[in-house]
Amino acid sequence: MEPELFILIAMMAVFALAVFAGKFPIGVSLVFAAVTGSLLSGFGLSLRHLVEGSISYLDPILIIITAMIFMEIIRETGALGEASRLIVVNLHSRPLLFLSAVTIFIMLPGMITGLSTASVLTTGAVVAPALIVWGIPKARTGSIIAMAALLGMVAPPINVPAMIIGGGVDMPYIGFGLPLLLATLPPALLVTFLLARPYFGRGSEEAIRNAFTDLPVHFKRWRLFLPVLILAVLMALSRIIPNDFTSMGMPLIFVIAGLSAYRSGLPFNYWKVIRVAVNKALPVMGILVGIGMFIQIMSLTGVRGYLIVNIVQIPSYWIFLAIMVTLPLFGAISSYGASYVLGVPFLLALLGRNEIIVASGLTLIASLGDMMPPTALAGIFAAQVVGEPNYFRILKICIPYIILTAVYGILIIIGANWLAKFLVI
């Protein structure tokens, strides 16, 4: 057996043991696997590489935590609840508009934070009662929330797997907006419509109105939503007038938007909100640090090169099948991990096709890992949010849509060069 393959198997085995038998968090398990790889390859502990790897994804870490703080703030002020109420009260009688608005609303936190769990636990939790009262059964509501959340995670402006893949091939995270929008919005809307279609108009008008009464305290709506507007404007300015407005970076934009929420709605304590956000984001921050170390050791030991060389040699059309199967399955451990360990070699194997479009398609498929057991972050949290005790009922409903999304991702990759003419500026 080639030494690189042996090291890779050993690293994966230690990782799986730590996750499944040791019940360690995924981030910590990745560190154990990295240390094992380093020791087995004769480099000793290689502390320098572990530390260097740990800092690789500091920027995405800061984006995720500041975005999470912002989401917590607008949840505390009541802006999220009010947005949900406005959608339900004004649109519930028009199914297509209602479901479109609900889908985009669920996706929003995922789009901003790059985390599917942020969508499920914030907007997903807020709209779940509305969808149930509207007539959609619990398990289907959970499926809608889970699928919209994981597609929200891929949607622009923040797509962490794309940043991870980009980091692996020295490709800046620029120009992904339109490709990611095409990769996520059509399947998100289609999946919601297909899941909700049999239940159009089942809920009673009165029940919906009773479930969504006005906020207990009335605030000026413009003030309540001002932080979101500030966020959107600051994000847009650096793209609209890049010469006059240098980008401040996403973390600072989130902090400014979060500070502007002071006294915009219901009172909240900034420190408590920050503590809650850190607690929620910590597992993902840990995964990013762990992935950084894992990758650094993979590069040090030659395992990364071994993987790339072998994946590049896969015959052309088999590679699409490999992408469809391996990316979501590996994503069961971590869709971020799948993006790097497999996403980067797949991207390199598909050189010649537009890299931005290919990476968009790959991240779409990798994100499906968030529905795969045993971790199934999006699915399990969605089951909790709707009060469905058996997560597998949600998975069973989602399977055709997961396959549909994976096929869509492959079609995007196949048509990358053609799509690039319209989508990559």
Partner 1 sequence: MLKLMYLAITALVLVATGCDLFSENNWKKQLTHLIVLIPLILRILLIK
Q: Is 337 in the site for partner 1 (CB under 8 A)?
A: no
Between CA 388 and CA 380 the distance in angstroms is 9
**266 contributes a contact to partner 1 by CB under 8 A:** no
252 binds partner 1 (CB under 8 A): yes
Residue 38 Ramachandran class (φ > 0 left, ψ -120 to 50 alpha, else beta): alpha
For the chain, what is the largest distance between any 2 Cα atoms, rounded to a whole number of angstroms? 70
| Backbone Cα Rg of the chain | 22
- Site membership for partner 1, residue 237 (CB under 8 A): no
Least separation, in Å, of the C-beta of 156 and partner 1?
Answer: 22
- By CB under 8 A, tell whether 24 contacts partner 1: yes
Q: How far is the CB of 30 from partner 1 (least distance, A)?
A: 9
Considering the rule CB under 8 A, would residue 219 count as an interface residue with partner 1? no
Per CB under 8 A, contacts with partner 1 among 42-81 are: 51, 54-55, 57-58, 61-62, 65-66
Cα pseudo-dihedral 47, 51, 56, 61, rounded to 10: 140
Considering the rule CB under 8 A, would residue 283 count as an interface residue with partner 1? yes
Contact 263, 272 (CB under 8 A): no
Is 248 among the residues that bind partner 1 (CB under 8 A)? yes
Q: Which of 47, 42, 9, 7 is nearest to 31 (CA)?
A: 47
At residue 360, φ and ψ (nearest 5 deg) are -65, -45
Question: How near is the Cβ of 240 to partner 1 at its closest, in Å?
Answer: 20
Query: In this chain, which stretch among 24-32, 165-173, 299-307, 349-357 interacts with partner 1, using CB under 8 A?
Result: 24-32
286-315 residues near partner 1, rule: CB under 8 A: 286, 289-290, 292-293
Output the smallest distance, CB 294 to partner 1, in A.
Answer: 12
Among residues 315, 391, 373, 312, the alpha carbon closest in space to that of 344 is found at 312
Give me the phi and psi of 353, to 5 degrees please: -95, 155
Instruction: Give me the least distance between CB of 69 and partner 1, in Å please.
Output: 9
Choice between 60 and 203, CB closer to partner 1: 60
DSSP per-residue letters across 356-395: HHHHHHHHHHHHGGGGSTTT-HHHHHHHHHHT-S-HHHHH
Q: How many residues bind partner 1 (CB under 8 A)?
A: 34
Side-chain-facing half-sphere of 413: CA atoms under 13 Å: 28
Residues near partner 1 (CB under 8 A) are 22-25, 27-28, 31, 51, 54-55, 57-58, 61-62, 65-66, 248-249, 251-252, 255, 274-275, 277-279, 282-283, 285-286, 289-290, 292-293
